[in-house]
Structure 1
Amino acid sequence: MSDSWAVVATVKAPVVEVLNFAAWHLELGAKQLHIYLDDPEDPAYPLLKAHPRIRAVQCDSRYWRRRAREGRPDKHQMRQTLNASHCYNAKNRHAWLAHIDVDEFLLPEGDLGQILAALPTTALSARMRPMEVLAPPDGAPASALVRLRAFALPLEQRHAETEAVYPEFGPYLNGGMLSHVAGKLFVRKGLPDVRFRIHRVLSAGEADPGQQELPQVPVAHFHATSWADWLSHYRFRLARGAYRSELKPMRPAFSDSVNLHTLLSTLEDSEGERGLRRFFDEVCADTPALRQRLMTAGLLREAVMDFPRLRAAHFPKAGL
């Protein structure tokens, strides 16, 4: 027995990355991908639109006049959640819908439709926890082998392992994750008045109804694919993304804890780019030392993600 499933995402990324995301989830067996293009002139649009299992939406001014009273929201998080909510309530026809980002990839341990079908009928939402990809060394040859860091769910164990794996910056981190530990959700079809949030869902005002953990389906998050990639996103994340100032510390119970905004800003103010690189090398870089510490803690994961092959299989006319 297998349940049908679909994915919704609001994307703004280079064409290759958009096609990587689409091809991966098509290969996994998604019945449909609902891809909302945050840039209505996105060059990926004709490639996506031509695929029979992809619904591609250009989020232009006309689209936003229909979706939101004030027009296009300024914050990308609001655009993401409005699009996901619209998709669930008006467009999705499949048993389950997952709301994820363009840099997130489902990594099921087996057939995803069968995993979802095995959930009890009381499970109305299923939570998938993240694993962050380690960044290969500068100049390393391209490889389909991806290494990732996982984290333990029990909080006391997680904090102890985080401090062991990341000796300098571990006390400021939660599981070593730089973006989130909450993960993302699959939501079962048929719930009333669904309103997505980035990491949660509301149905008729109830948060995460019938939630169940889904450990068989972690989410690979390509938060930092290289030092240059991390640095190129750093300013945006500091101002408006995962490192913004209003977020709480990742370790609020730690008396001297600060949030990532303060930690990274202080490092940069005192040491410049060298301080940021020191943080990146301990937390994000795929080094033998970090791999060994992760392996000792039982938190190192590996996956084969051959994106060129999948792009060629699902988008042969793209020539990428």
Structure 2
Amino acid sequence: MTTWGISATIKAPADDILQFAAYHLEKGAHRLFIYLDEENPSAFEALSAHPKVRVTKCDDAWWQKRRKQRPEMHQARQTANATHAYRRRAEVDWLIHMDVDEFLICDQHIGSILATLPGDTPLTRIRPMESLSGGTTAFKRFIPGGPNRDRIVTSLYPTYGLYTKGGFLSHLAGKVFVRTGLPDVTVKIHNAFQNGEQITGIDDQPGIDLAHVHAKTWDEWRSSYPYRLTKGSYRAELGPNKPHEKGGLSMHELFTMIEKEDGEAGLRAFFEEVSADTPGLRARLDAHGLLALVNLDLDGPMRAHFPNVNP
């Protein structure tokens, strides 16, 4: 049986952490390497008691043991911990780095799909689908690159679509499963490197999707927006959706422009067009075969794997 696991550096409420863990354990994960980015005693206790979970407190003692100062940017902490998980004694055949708001979707056993890959395949990419706000059941699918992407995005999101990357608020790159046991590997957020060179493999793995619950509600998105704008997925140093000379804007530039021109109302209008779970957007997505309806059922696995935790 081909085994797989997840590494994740997480700063979130205990219930979110345990739901993420329980969901993937139910999906067949053989090992979870959870790095707690802040003190979380209740999550640590529950995770420590599960035989398939390896949990680490990333406190000052942890970073001193790693012989480095705690990186200021969370992206650097994620990379350090994902690489640590990969380089420790292999307990699985494949390892993927993920965030707490990402969930693997597969109708088959994930290990069965990974088992079909040629033995010399070092990596396979899992493309994302992004949730519509209002729940965890409706998702917009990834639109492959090519001449039709702009046309489709414009028909879905006529005002703001062409300023986004494929109509998504967050990443299109997805996350990568890396075959374990390869020497000198560094795992980053969306890619992996060996001897300093990016590892290539299968660029789109059929049968497995990465459901990204980037924005559950307007209030949650608005609360996270300042951090994402300065340090997260909308920060200034990230590149535009296409070259500036072709009219492209980074998400940071887009949101700065919207705020300058229309303030809070402009941000709300953007969110309603691109992310809100409305009948109109569902219909437009469905017409292009881009609507995915998924029941993540986060409560069921939680009860099965952490029965002594009261959500």
Q: TM-score, normalized by length of structure 2? A: 0.96
Give the aligned partner of residue 293 of structure 1.
Answer: 284
Name structure 2 gaps, 5 residues minimum.
none
Give the aligned partner of residue 131 of structure 1.
Answer: 129
Secondary structure of 2:236 counterpart:
coil
Tell me the CA shift for residue 254 of structure 1.
6.6
Asked if 2 retains the 8 angstrom alpha-carbon contact of 1:203 and 1:209, the reply is no
The structure 2 residue matched to 1:188, chosen from 179, 182, 190, is 179
Alignment of 1:51 with 2:42, yes or no, is no
Give the aligned partner of residue 39 of structure 2.
Answer: 40
Q: RMSD between aligned alpha carbons?
A: 1.4
Tell me the CA shift for residue 211 of structure 1.
3.9
Tell me the CA shift for residue 185 of structure 1.
0.4
Distance 1:172 1:290 in 2: 18
Alignment of 1:26 with 2:25, yes or no, is yes
Tell me the CA shift for residue 68 of structure 1.
4.3
Secondary structure of 2:294 counterpart:
strand
Give the aligned partner of residue 139 of structure 1.
Answer: none
Asked if 1 retains the 8 angstrom alpha-carbon contact of 2:170 and 2:233, the reply is yes
The structure 2 residue matched to 1:154, chosen from 139, 145, 148, is 145
Listed as ranges, the matches of 1:3-14 within 5 Å are 3-14=2-13
Listed as ranges, the matches of 1:157-168 within 5 Å are 157-168=148-159
After superposition, give the CA deviation of every residue in 1:161-201 in whole Å (9 maximum; x if it has no partner).
11111110111012111111111000001111110111110
Tell me the CA shift for residue 91 of structure 1.
4.0
After superposition, give the CA deviation of every residue in 1:217-268 in whole Å (9 maximum; x if it has no partner).
1100010000011001100000011111111111327722211111112211
Give the aligned partner of residue 100 of structure 1.
Answer: 98
- The one-letter code matched in structure 2 to 1:208 is I
Asked if 2 retains the 8 angstrom alpha-carbon contact of 1:124 and 1:188, the reply is yes
The structure 1 residue matched to 2:108, chosen from 110, 135, 142, is 110
- The one-letter code matched in structure 2 to 1:251 is K
Instruction: Give the number of equivalent residue pairs.
Output: 311
- The one-letter code matched in structure 2 to 1:126 is T
Give the aligned partner of residue 83 of structure 1.
Answer: 81
After superposition, give the CA deviation of every residue in 1:106-158 in whole Å (9 maximum; x if it has no partner).
0123110100001111211010001001012xxxxxx7x60000122132222
Alignment of 1:176 with 2:167, yes or no, is yes
- The one-letter code matched in structure 2 to 1:61 is D
Task: Mark the CA change 1:42 to 1:134 in structure 2 (over 3 Å): closer, same or farther.
Answer: farther
Listed as ranges, the matches of 1:186-225 within 5 Å are 186-225=177-216
Secondary structure of 1:77 counterpart:
helix
Alignment of 1:260 with 2:259, yes or no, is no
Q: Choose 293-302 or 262-271, whichever is displaced more.
A: 262-271
Asked if 1 retains the 8 angstrom alpha-carbon contact of 2:127 and 2:142, the reply is no
Tell me the CA shift for residue 65 of structure 1.
1.1
The structure 1 residue matched to 2:235, chosen from 223, 240, 244, is 244
Name structure 1 gaps, 5 residues minimum.
137-142
Distance 1:68 1:216 in 2: 40
Distance 1:31 1:217 in 2: 17
List structure 1 segments (4+ residues) > 4 angstroms apart after TM superposition. Answer: none
Percent identity of equivalent pairs: 43
Asked if 2 retains the 8 angstrom alpha-carbon contact of 1:159 and 1:174, the reply is no
- The one-letter code matched in structure 1 to 2:160 is F
Distance 1:63 1:262 in 2: 37
Distance 2:302 2:37 in 1: 21
Q: Choose 112-121 or 148-157, whichever is displaced more.
A: 148-157
Distance 1:123 1:188 in 2: 8
Distance 2:67 2:190 in 1: 21
Task: Mark the CA change 1:271 to 1:253 in structure 2 (over 3 Å): closer, same or farther.
Answer: closer
Alignment of 1:281 with 2:280, yes or no, is no
Q: TM-score, normalized by length of structure 1? A: 0.94
Q: Choose 3-12 or 252-261, whichever is displaced more.
A: 252-261
